[in-house]
Amino acid sequence: MSEKQTRNKFRDAMGDYYKTNRQISQDQDAGQRKGQSVTGREKAMIIVLAVLVLILIVKSVFLDEVKNLSGEEEQFKQFVEYSIEEEHSGALADMGLMIYRIYDIYKADEDQKGVLRYVDPATGEKVEVVQDGRYTARVRGYLLWILPVQHFSVTAKIEE
């Protein structure tokens, strides 16, 4: 018998051994699960998944929106909302499946003056505001109102 034939017999025997153990394992699993639909571990995983989804919903809906803003920050927030409406409209946003929330506003540079140019949604008039300091807003896009899928920043232009 050649060396190659010996190796093939060894592979065949090992393959049969693993097939046999796999089959034994499957038979044991099938026998144990006849009376049970869901095991205790599976129930625990389902509960953990439900709790995590609930936490994500609470975080996305109630905690992510920026609150308690000063006057300049409120003006900047209106500017950012207008910019988002203009720049990030698409099929998902038009259908209402994608929404954007501003979750942080901070002063990026106190020495520079920021210029905000936008159309006031209430009056329809063009607004130009020069602010002391340049602000930056962090925005998060949510698919189906709860799944955060997009992050970007909006910064005011610098006064020249």
- Please give the residue that has the higher pLDDT: either 38 or 7: 38
Q: For 79-137, what is each residue's pLDDT tens digit?
A: 888 888 888 878 888 888 899 999 999 888 888 888 888 777 778 888 888 888 888 99
| CB neighbours of residue 25 within 10 Å | 10
SS3 (DSSP) at 24 = helix
54: confidence class by pLDDT, cuts 50, 70, 90: very high
The domains of the chain are located at 3-58, 66-158
Q: Is 47 helix (H, G, I), strand (E, B) or coil?
A: helix
Q: Which pLDDT belongs to residue 29?
A: 66
Q: Is the pLDDT of residue 48 over 90?
A: yes
In whole angstroms, how far apart are CA 3 and each of 13, 60, 102, 145? 15, 65, 71, 65
Angle at alpha carbon of residue 84, lines to 75 and 134, rounded to 5°: 40
Reported in sequence order, the residue ranges of the chain that DSSP labels E, i.e. its strands, are 98-119, 126-143, 147-155, 157-158
Cα 36 → chain centroid: 36
Do residues 118 and 148 lie in contact, with contact meaning Cβ atoms separated by under 8 Å? no
- Please count the CA atoms within 13 angstroms of the CA of 139 that sit on its side-chain side: 23
Q: What is residue 44's predicted lDDT score, i.e. its pLDDT?
A: 92
d(CA 81, CA 109) in angstroms, rounded, equals 21
The two structure tokens encoding residue 138: 């962090």
